[in-house]
Amino acid sequence: MRFLMANILYPDKDINYRSINRLVPDIHQQQNWAKEGVENPQFIKSHFKFKDDYRRVIYLYRDGRDAAISLYYFYMLDEKGLSFDQFFCQQFISGQLLFGDWKKHITFWMFEDHKIEFLPIRYEELYSDTRWELAKMAKFSDIKATIAEIETAVDKSSFEELEKIRARDGVHPKMKGLRGKPGGWRETFTKSQNGMFWDYAGDLMEKLGYKKE
């Protein structure tokens, strides 16, 4: 998402894993902004449930089972000797996560009146029709972009291109476990884990249009 927005905002710049921190910074790394030269960014990456000084929010959500797997690798828990099943049962389902309970996070943004200009983006649709979804985001953000500019931004932000940038620059350590497409939970979740997840968030998942399978 950060690369899509950066490539449409700054089509003539080399967007890589160093410049992205300056052009579309992470609010959770705000202590590094001065060092990285961040000044009045138009877009900020955030995982917060709510901050009352946000003007507009583009909210990217996905199947919670894929989110659980992504978090497991993001925390690098396999390297710390914690199995996915331990993380899933002891932390994810119980909401013991850095940014709070996944279900409560989604429910707040998607179904409560937070009175913020708000555009929800479903990851699976972003993956299957990236050009259309980026056009929606550009319109919502008052970015004037041609079809050609949108297509170029999409091409430059593809998973394959980001892999090339990572190999070239040797930057961004937390790529382990990433597939570049949705649905990885089907290869990881046991029948029992899927049942546990549906007991935890099945009502929300159905409202979002997902299926237990």
The Cα–Cα gap between 116 and 57 comes to 7
Q: Which regions of the chain are under pLDDT 70?
A: 171-177
Which are the contacts of 208, defined by CB distance < 8 A and separation ≥ 6? 61, 106, 110, 122
The neighbouring-strand residues paired with 154 are none
Cβ atoms of residues 60 and 3 within 8 Å = no
Tens-place pLDDT, residues 25-54: 999 999 999 998 998 899 999 998 877 788
Residue type, position 174, single letter: K
Tens-place pLDDT, residues 179-209: 778 999 999 999 999 999 999 999 999 999 9
| Domains recognised in the chain with CATH numbers | 2-208 (3.40.50.300)
DSSP H or E run through 122: strand 117-122
Closest of 179, 149, 151, 141 to residue 163, by C-alpha? 179
Residues of 161-172 as b/e, b for ≥16 C-beta within 10 angstroms?
ebeebeeeeeee
Model confidence, pTM: 0.91
Left, alpha or beta for 143 (phi > 0: left; psi -120 to 50: alpha)? beta
